[in-house]
Amino acid sequence: MMSLLLAACTTGPGAPFATLEGAELALDLHPTEARDLGDRTLTNEGWEIEVHGIELAIASIHVDDLQGAVGVEFDPANPPAGYSLCHGGHCHADSGALVAYAEIEAELAGGTASFVPVWSFQGPWTVDALDAGTLQLPVPDEGPDVGQTGLRRFQIELDHVLVDMTWVEQDQRVPFALQLQPLPLSSGLEVAVDRFSEPSLNLSAQLTDGGRLFDDIDFTLSDADQIAASVTNNFGLVELDVEIQ
């Protein structure tokens, strides 16, 4: 049975500052209208792809505080070398990945900073991200209490991702079954839990994609391993939006 474990930084005995009442993750990796050809997805290179399934094997989900980064100065308007276009809690890395503000702060702090789980939802779960469904993350009946802390990062730990697809070129149809090992998916947060917080909190996260998973691939020159590597990199560009309120 899925369970939720709680580790919180508290300042002493007494009543908690907040209680988690509910948590959910919505998944929808359908392309946007501009890329949607009905039963096919259009890539930026002009190829047409039929996507039959995108299965996510989720190992765990957690919300973390960042500790030990005291004195680190990070300005999203003037990010450090290697990052640009900072907005919505993340920056674009030169590698193409989206990196949460807190992860950049931890990098700038060197070995003095670490992420500490506040809420941890332990899987595993297997979901098809094309079903546009919602994964309810179970909260114990009594609700996990939270002491004074910060909520700086939401992260999805993936065991693997399976992509079932077909490349279509005129009368030619080439099927591909890809197994990806993507990096964790993260979203930055800037939520303080203290005596000014709402007493009850709800977590809502949404994973969406604009159809970019198959961008920058020349299917006439690529084999299955090259396509899997490209899609793995593109997976770091899916949009993860998180609200805690």
Q: What is residue 216's predicted lDDT score, i.e. its pLDDT?
A: 93
CA nearest neighbour of 108 among 70, 147, 146, 142: 70
- Confidence label for 126 from pLDDT (cuts 50, 70 and 90): very high
Structure tokens at 83: 């990052």
- Measured CA to CA, the distance from residue 86 to residue 224 in angstroms comes to 33
At residue 108, the 3 state secondary structure works out as helix
Model confidence pLDDT, tens digit, residues 130-171: 887 899 998 766 566 676 788 889 999 999 999 999 999 988
The 8-class DSSP code of residue 110 comes to: G
- Measured CA to CA, the distance from residue 210 to residue 34 in angstroms comes to 9
What's the whole-model pTM score? 0.84
Domains of the chain, by residue range, sit at: 3-244
CA nearest neighbour of 166 among 182, 151, 178: 178
Which is more confident, 17 or 28?
28
The 8-class DSSP code of residue 198 comes to: -
Q: Which of 92-101, 175-184, 226-235 is the least confident region?
A: 92-101
- Strand locations in the chain, DSSP E? 3-6, 18-28, 41-42, 48-67, 83-87, 90-93, 98-100, 114-128, 134-136, 145-146, 149-169, 172-180, 185-193, 200-208, 239-244
Q: What is residue 73's predicted lDDT score, i.e. its pLDDT?
A: 81
Which is more confident, 149 or 224?
224
Model confidence pLDDT, tens digit, residues 29-87: 888 888 989 889 999 999 999 999 999 999 999 999 888 877 788 888 989 899 988 88
